[in-house]
Amino acid sequence: MSILARIGVFGAGAVGGTIGGLLALAGRDVTLIGQWREHIDAVRTHGLRIVDAAGTRVAHPRIMHHEELKTLQQPFDVVLLCVKSYDTDWAVRAVAPHLAPAGFVASLQNGINETRIAAIVGSERTVGVGISTIGANATEPGEVVRTSSKGGGKHTVFRAGEIDGRLTPRLEALVQLLNIVDSAKATDNLMGERWSKLVINSITHGLAAATGLNSRALMASTALRPLTIRLAAEGVRVGRAQHLQLVDIYGAGADTWLAAECGEAPALAAIEKGLQARYVRATEDERPSVALDIMRGRRSELEFTSGALVARARELGIAVPAQEALYAAARRVERGELKAAPENTNAFA
C-alpha cells in the first residue's frame, strides 16, 4: 500500500479539480475540499466532468466545503494545496488538525509559499511542487477543462521537492502519485525550481493581465519578444543574487537569457525554440490564472508572482525596471483604471 493512501486536495477549482479528478478516476482515495458551494453541490450530484484532449470523463471524488472539515473521520496522509496564494494561511490552519502523524502539506500553488506553510505546520510537514503549464480552467460548476496538452515524456509538469533538498521516501511516493496526472519528478533544488517558475509567472501573468492576450498569442508575439527577454533577464539576476541554482526558463538556461538581452544570435534562436515548444502545447482557450481572475472581476495573485519578484528585487537593491513597469500596468488593469490591451506595454517594451 502507498504511504499516501488518503489524499486531500484543498482547492477544488481548476488545478485542484483536474488533479483530484484524475486521481479519483485512477481509483485513489481522494477528498476535494472547496469554497464554491455551487461547484461542490454539482460534483456531489452529477460527478466532476474533466474535459481534456482525451475527451470528457466523469470522476466521482468525495468533495466537501472547507467548513465541513470537522466532520472528517480519518486524517490525510497528504494534502495537495491548490488554493490561491492569498488563501494559504487560513487554508493550512484549517487542514492542519486533519493530518495523519506522518502527514504533510504539498504546495502546488503559484508563488513561493513553502516558508509560510512551514511556519504553521513545521518544515517537516511541508513539501513544494512546482507546476509547469498544466493549463486548467474551472468553466462552470461541476466541470474543469485542461487547456494545454499533456507534457508526457517531452515536458515535466510537476517537480516535487523538500525544503532542505533531501530526496525522501515520501517525495518518491508523491512523484508516483502525481505521475498519474502527468509527468512528474523529484528535485533536490526546490527553491531554484520555484524561483525559475516565478520568473516565468512574472512574464506570463504580467503580460496576459496588461495586454489581454491569451497564452498562444503571448508566445507568438515577436513584438513582445524584447520585453519578454528583459523580464526574464531581470528575474535571473534577482535569483542569482540569492545564490539560487536556476533551471531552464521556457527551455533556455539562465545564461542564455542574459546573452539574449545582449542581442547574441545563438541565444535569441534558443529562446525562440523554447517559446515555440511552449506555443504548441497551448490551446486558444489557455490563459494564465491571473488573467482569468481579472477578466472575471476576481482578486488575482499578481502580488504573489510579479509582485513578489519586484519586492524581492527591492529588498536586494537590484534594479528591475521592466518588471516594475509591467507589474504597475497589470495592477492598473486589475483595479479597473486601464483596459487590457497590447498597447499598454508600448511605453516600456
Instruction: Dump pLDDT digits (tens) for 205-229.
Output: 999 999 999 988 998 899 999 999 9
Cα distances (angstroms) measured from residue 111 to each of 23, 82, 88, 135, 198? 24, 12, 11, 16, 6
What is the distance in angstroms between the CA of the first residue and the CA of the last residue of the chain?
A: 54
Same domain as 16, residue 41:
yes
| 281, pLDDT greater than 80 | no
Q: Does 155 share its domain with 222?
A: no
Nearest Cα to Cα of residue 150 among 177, 188, 178: 178
| 184 plus 250 within the same structural domain | no
Put the strands of the sheet holding 55-59 in their side by side order. Answer: 55-59, 48-52, 143-146, 136-140
Mean pLDDT in the chain?
Answer: 93
At 1 the pLDDT is: 46
Q: Sign of dihedral through CA atoms 252, 319, 202, 220?
A: negative
Residue ending a domain, among 188, 204, 221, is 188
d(CA 100, CA 10): 16
**Cell digits for 322?**
521592466
- CATH number of the domain bearing residue 215: 1.10.1040.10
Residues 139 and 204 in one domain: no
Name 115's Cβ contacts closer than 8 Å, sequence gap at least 6. Answer: none
Degrees (nearest 5) of the Cα angle 276, 16, 140?
A: 90
Q: Give the domain CATH number at 109.
A: 3.40.50.720
pTM for this model (two decimals)? 0.91
Q: What's the grid cell of residue 295? A: 477578466
User: Same domain for 130 and 278?
Assistant: no
Are 181 and 198 part of one and the same domain?
no
Considering the domain architecture, whether residues 182 and 198 belong to the same structural domain is answered as no
Q: What are the b/e assignments for 311-330, b being 16+ CB within 10 Å?
A: ebbeeeeeebebbbbbbebb
Which of 134, 158, 188 is the endpoint of a domain? 188
* 127 and 250 fall within a common domain: no
98 and 197 in one domain?
A: no
E strand spans, 108-156: 126-131, 136-140, 143-146
R_g of the chain, CA atoms, integer Å: 19
The Cα 1–Cα 211 span in angstroms is 49
What is the predicted pLDDT for the residue at 155?
78
Cα 67 to Cα 22: distance, rounded to the nearest angstrom: 24
Cα–Cα nearest to 90, from 67, 73, 108, 74: 67
- Which three-class secondary structure string do you get for 228-248? HHHHHHHHHHHHHHCCCCCCC
Q: Rounded distance, CA 207 to CA 185, Å?
A: 29
Tell me which of 188, 212, 239 is where a domain ends. 188
Rounded mean pLDDT of 253-273? Answer: 97
Closest Cα partner for 174 from 109, 113, 128? 128
CB 90 within 8 A of CB 65: no
Residue with grid cell 539560487, as numbered in its chain: 244
What would the mean pLDDT of 99-111 be, rounded to a whole number?
96
31 strand-pairing partners: 8, 62
The verdict on 223 and 317 lying in the same domain is yes
Whether residue 202 contacts residue 27, with contact meaning beta carbons closer than 8 Å, is answered with: no
Q: Are residues 293 and 260 in the same domain?
A: yes
Does residue 128 sit within a domain? yes
Which pLDDT tens digit goes with each residue over 59-98? 999 999 999 999 999 999 999 999 999 999 999 999 999 9
Residues of the domain holding 287: 193-345
* pLDDT score, position 149: 67
- Say whether both 181 and 248 belong to one domain: no
In a domain, 1, yes or no: no
pLDDT digits 0-9 by tens, 301-327: 999 999 999 999 999 999 999 999 999
**Cross-strand bridge partners of residue 162:** 127
- How far apart (Å, rounded) are the C-alpha atoms in residues 2 and 306? 38
Q: Domain total for the chain?
A: 2
Residue 349 has pLDDT above 90, yes or no: no
Give yes or no for residue 292 having a pLDDT over 50. Answer: yes
Sign of the alpha-carbon torsion through 276, 253, 172, 174: negative
What is residue 289's predicted lDDT score, i.e. its pLDDT? 85
pLDDT score of 278 more than 60: yes
Q: Going by C-beta distance under 8 Å and a sequence separation of 6 or more, which residues neighbour residue 264?
A: none
Residue 278 within any structural domain of the chain: yes
